[in-house]
Amino acid sequence: MNSAYTSLFNPFTFKSGVKVDNRIMIAPMTHYSSKEDGSISEQELTFIEARSEGPGVVITACANVTANGKAFPGQPGINLDTHLPGLKKLAETIHKKGSKAVIQIHHGGVQCPPELVPNGDVLSASDIPEKGARALTDEEVKEIVKGFGEATTRAIEAGFDGVEIHGANGYLIQQFFSPHTNKRSDAWGGETAADRLAFPLAVVDAVKQAVAEKAPENFLVGYRFSPEEPETPGLTMEDTFVLVDALAAKELDYLHVSLMEAHSKARRGADETRTRLSLLHERVGELVPIVGVGSVHTPGEAVAVLEEEGMDFVALGRELLVEPNWVNLVKNGQENQIQTVIKVSEKEKYVLPEPLWNVIMNAGGWVPFEE
């Protein structure tokens, strides 16, 4: 291995006691390939197996915690006990390749297509009539919080090493935290960022309670968030500092910053000459491990996330669609073999489910490809 990449392969022990032998995670990626009832498909297992040898942690695609939280066709479910056999296979598939298995738990909120949720009833923190969504009642909010706890119990029963709470990318948890989508005046909303933390923190508490009651001694709990929103009003770095302060106090195993570009700079609410990752490291990096992600393709770029931005881990997403064996190529000094562009003529070697392949081909460069 090139000595320049040593920092990627330093071992780490999380607060929960889970140990990993490197600082590389697979970011959760939607694959559109679970069965219609939300159970795990063979395509999905083949896809994840091809990418699970090498990374310290594999975070699987977001799984909906209630029936009314399904945001994608082919999304895995974790809302029913009937999902357990497939989830066990998923965890086992990752484990046999030597990585820790973490499942991301999720509710889509307003981003759920009406055809995927019961009675087409799309829900959010507040009424969003232009998107056909209505505000959750107090009782419904509590049911979804409960659903996150029950999903965590299923993850434990299925043999996962942890869960990642999906509080990013404009899904329901973020909808409650954002002033753009939360106009509530009850206990689940309010004028300040601290007021709007009620739902995210209730979810964290439900997850941690399930872990305390059901999990083995070492079980990871992470939280993914998006640090800013483009809308006004919308989340700013100032709001996000309130969020990460509260999350750090919950003694989570890690925070995962969802970014399209790891070195992107703050938009508002903080020093706009600095990167979001460096600001977050300065704010809570001594209190909780942070995972950086976003357009990381080469080992040099991965090292920069750790060493320049102060991250404890780097997550790779799209690059591992192109190069499933990325980690081992770096570890074995074969980084010159790493591909960063899919060659359509070599489709089979990427081990991608057909629905995901079609999305890549139709998404206009989301994952780069050439004929």
Q: How do beta strands 220-225 and 24-26 pair? A: unpaired
Task: Locate 65 and state its tokens.
Answer: 């915690």
N-to-C CA span, the chain? 32
Distance of CA 365 to the CA centre of its chain: 21
Residues 6+ apart with CB under 8 A from 216: 156
Handedness of CA 235, 237, 238, 240 (dihedral sign): positive
Task: Locate 5 and state its tokens.
Answer: 């990449």
Q: Which helix (H) or strand (E) holds 86?
A: helix 84-95
Q: Could you please report the per-residue DSSP string of 151-191?
A: HHHHHHHHT-SEEEEEE-TTSHHHHHH-TTT----STT--S
Of residues 32, 171, 254, 350, which has the active-site annotation? 171
- Side-chain-facing half-sphere of 331: CA atoms under 13 Å: 14
171 counts as catalytic: yes
Residue 42 neighbours by CB distance under 10 Å: 12
Active-site residues, by number, are 171
